Amino acid sequence: MASVSTPQELGKKCPLENGGGASGQDSTWILPNLPSKCTWTATTPASKSPHSCVPLTEEKKILPNILKKIGCTPMVQINKIGKSYGLKCELLAKCEYFNAGGSVKDRISLRMVEDAERAGIIKPGDTLIEPTSGNTGIGLALVAALKGYRCIIVLPEKMSMEKVDILKALGAEIVRTPCTRFDAPESNVRVAWKLKSQIPNSHILDQYRNPSNPLAHYDTTAEEILEQCEGKVHMVVIGSGTGGTITGVARKLKEKCPECKIVGVDPDGSIVALPSEMNKTNTTTIEVEGIGHDFIPTVLDRSVVDQWYKSNDRDSFLMSRRLIREEGLLCGGSSGSAMSVAVRAARELQEGQRCVVILPDSVRNYMSKFVNDQWMIKNGFLNDAQEHKPWWWDIKVQKLNLSAPLILLPEVSCQKAIEILQEKGYDQAPVVAESGLILGMVTLSNALSSVQDGNVEFSDPVTKVTYDQFSKVSLEDSLGKLSCLLENDHFAIVVHEQTQCRYLQELLAQVFERGEGNSEADCVSGNGSSSTKQTVLGVVTAMDLLTFASSNDKK
């Protein structure tokens, strides 16, 4: 039966407690970014390959099982979007979400399992464990369900709940991990290896290192592209996650269609693109799922990529929505990443030439994310979502009558926090460190229930019952954005950002002695350093917004 578990629930004591980290010296896990030992070259004959080959097969009218519906995905002409960018070439999309499990990762999931079976490494009844952003997990869970394997998927917290629900429906057990560095002890990669050390007859097929990953695309995806395009393809645009798709497709095209340009797509915040200077950014999180990494996966051969482009979340999601609305292609966010790059890269192509874009997965996984207007507005990717907006929609938050906030220090006990909230008549309050760092929110109901259930003691610090996930707005944000946030959250914190400057003591003395140093340029120059601090100005609820709207009704 499917379940969502913690690592501790899936095994006994783990020997992997004190790291190994980036040094790779801990024998209980294998780094996913080790140098590749692959000896492929574009001129090596197929007969010299040490790997098995899986040729394309003609699809039967009646399939013996759904695994036979992996591969042979359609190639679809893009009509409106290409024209809107003035492209002269033919723009095509290979729709990988038509695979049985809904993504391009079905190909590698089946290939990794069947290659391991042929090699005698795994057998039905064994446990398959995989760290993944979701799609490989879904593919593996699908294969495991049909072939009789136990399946445990280790999934970062940022991945959509739709993926979790699908994995549970397929019978997989799910472990959620923080979104952290790949070599951190709590990362999905390290936790997966930790579980393997605890569970008998368990295996990590390891999409980051497994040669079956790029081979699946070398043998099938690339061959399909060549067959569907009748050998006439001048550019292929592919996003890079593990790097298996772009490596496998590019290697085959380098052999059979060497004039074809391979374009790699890497999101802001990832370090995969070359030259490495491209990866310099202030972006710390990537909302688009399935592409980008903080390491270079072993299976990725960057030498076969002719040019890299960087993508960003906003352009990716807006392009995905355009693909859905204008082309009828029900694709996911990374499809938008690839297409947003393709319309730039394909400008160099001429009439009669052809650009193929890989669309990795479907909209099914993201109904609560980029498909949702409120989510897009909340994350700053969409403005003016409502066609018929209320009169107050574009008014700024600063127009609200904000009362002075009640702020709790982190060392306050749960008992004292409850007493203060009850005495002041507040339902919630922010917890802020003396440095000004906002640690989270505490609600009266959660604090009371946590104490009553025995999860915390009255004497415990309030941080034990603090939520670190909460919505924030600035004074310059619109009430429309606030309204969208309050559709999903009970409250939002109003914050003001300040730039704080730190000077060397002697420089500070000189500045004030001269009466200078008032410019922001001085703060961020080589003479000193600056940091951004958020100050809590208030907490707003739906009732505050309703009160403002009703008392200032413009009708």
pLDDT in tens, 127-163: 999 998 789 999 999 999 999 999 999 988 878 889 9
Same domain, 84 and 195: no
Q: Which of 204, 224, 239 is the last residue of a domain?
A: 204
Which residue, 51, 36, 173, 162, is CA-closest to 112? Answer: 51
Residues sharing a CB contact under 8 Å with residue 323, sequence separation 6 or more, in sequence order: 81, 93, 329, 331, 335, 336, 339, 359
Kindly report the pTM of this predicted structure: 0.68
Q: Which residues contact 89 (CB under 8 A, 6 or more apart)?
A: 82, 234, 235, 346, 349, 350, 351, 352, 353, 354, 355
The packing angle between helices 135-147 and 105-118, to 10°, is 40
Strands 261-267 and 307-311: parallel
Distance CA 72, CA 220 (A): 8
91 located within any domain: yes
Q: Are residues 218 and 199 in the same domain?
A: no
Three-class SS state of 555: coil
CA 411 from chain center: how many Å?
34
Q: Whose CA is closest to 265, among 223, 205, 299, 313?
A: 313
In a domain, 59, yes or no: no
What distance in Å separates the CA atoms of residue 367 and residue 285, rounded to the nearest whole number? 20
356 in the same domain as 293: yes
Residues 188 and 307 in one domain: no
Is residue 58 assigned to a domain? no
Q: Could you tell me where the DSSP H helices lie in 155-296?
A: 161-169, 188-198, 212-216, 222-228, 244-256
Q: What is the C-alpha to C-alpha distance for residues 486 and 542, in angstroms, rounded to an integer?
A: 6
Would you state the pLDDT for residue 124?
94
* Rounded (5°) CA angle 540-545-548: 120
Give the pairing of strands 438-443 and 428-432.
antiparallel
Name 206's Cβ contacts closer than 8 Å, sequence gap at least 6: 30, 32, 130
Q: Based on the fold, state whether residues 424 and 303 are members of the same structural domain.
A: no
DSSP 408: B
In a domain, 27, yes or no: no
Are 458 and 509 in a shared domain? yes
Last residue of a domain, one of 363, 396, 426: 363
Residue 248 located in a structural domain: yes
Domain of 478: which CATH number? 3.10.580.10
Quote the pLDDT of residue 385.
Answer: 53
Question: Looking at the chain, how many residues does it have?
Answer: 555
The identity of residue 231, as a single letter, is G
Contacts of 360 (CB under 8 A, 6+ apart): 96, 97, 103, 104, 105, 135, 239, 241, 245, 290, 332, 334, 335, 338
- pLDDT recorded at residue 553: 65
Each of the 555 residues of the chain gets a pLDDT tens digit; together they read 444 444 344 443 333 333 344 444 566 778 887 888 887 787 777 777 777 777 777 778 899 999 999 999 999 999 999 999 999 999 999 999 999 999 999 999 999 999 999 999 999 999 999 998 789 999 999 999 999 999 999 988 878 889 999 999 999 999 988 878 888 888 888 999 999 999 999 999 999 999 999 999 999 999 999 999 999 999 999 999 999 999 999 999 999 999 999 999 999 999 999 999 999 998 888 999 999 999 999 999 999 999 999 999 999 999 999 999 999 999 999 999 999 999 999 999 999 999 999 999 999 999 999 999 888 988 889 876 555 678 888 899 999 988 888 999 999 999 999 999 999 888 889 999 888 888 889 999 889 988 888 888 999 999 999 987 788 889 998 888 888 888 777 888 898 876 655 544 444 455 445 554 444 434 333 444 555 677 888 899 888 888 888 877 654
Cα pseudo-dihedral 351, 354, 357, 362, rounded to 10: 90
Does a structural domain hold residue 39? no
Structure tokens given for 121: 């490494």
CA distances from 157 to 127, 529, 553 (A): 22, 33, 42
- What DSSP string runs through 312-379? -HHHHHHHHHHHHHHH---B-HHHHHHHHHHHHHGGG--TT-EEEEEE-BBGGGGTTTTTSHHHHHHT
List the beta bridge partners of residue 478: 396
Just list the catalytic residues: 105
CB 396 within 8 A of CB 479: yes
Residue 390 shares a structural domain with residue 516:
yes
Residue 269 domain-assigned (yes or no) = yes
Eight-state DSSP code of residue 126? S
Give yes or no: residues 542 and 519 share one domain: yes
Selection from 345, 344, 314, 316 nearest residue 332 by Cα: 316
- Please report whether residue 271 resides in a domain: yes
User: Do 225 and 349 reside in the same domain of the chain?
Assistant: yes
Per-residue pLDDT at 189: 87
Gap between the Cα atoms of 238 and 259, Å rounded: 17
Q: Could you tell me the CATH number of the domain that includes residue 132? A: 3.40.50.1100
Q: Give the residue numbers spanning the domain of 241.
A: 69-100+214-278+286-363
Domain count, the chain: 3
Check whether residue 491 and residue 354 sit in a common domain.
Answer: no
Judged by DSSP in three states, 496 sits in strand
Confidence (pLDDT) at 386: 53
Within its chain, how far is the Cα of 545 from the centroid?
32
Tell me how crowded residue 444 is: count the other CB atoms within 10 A of its CB: 17
Looking at 145, 178, 204, the residue that finishes a domain is: 204
Same domain? For 123 and 192 the reply is yes
pLDDT at 384: 60
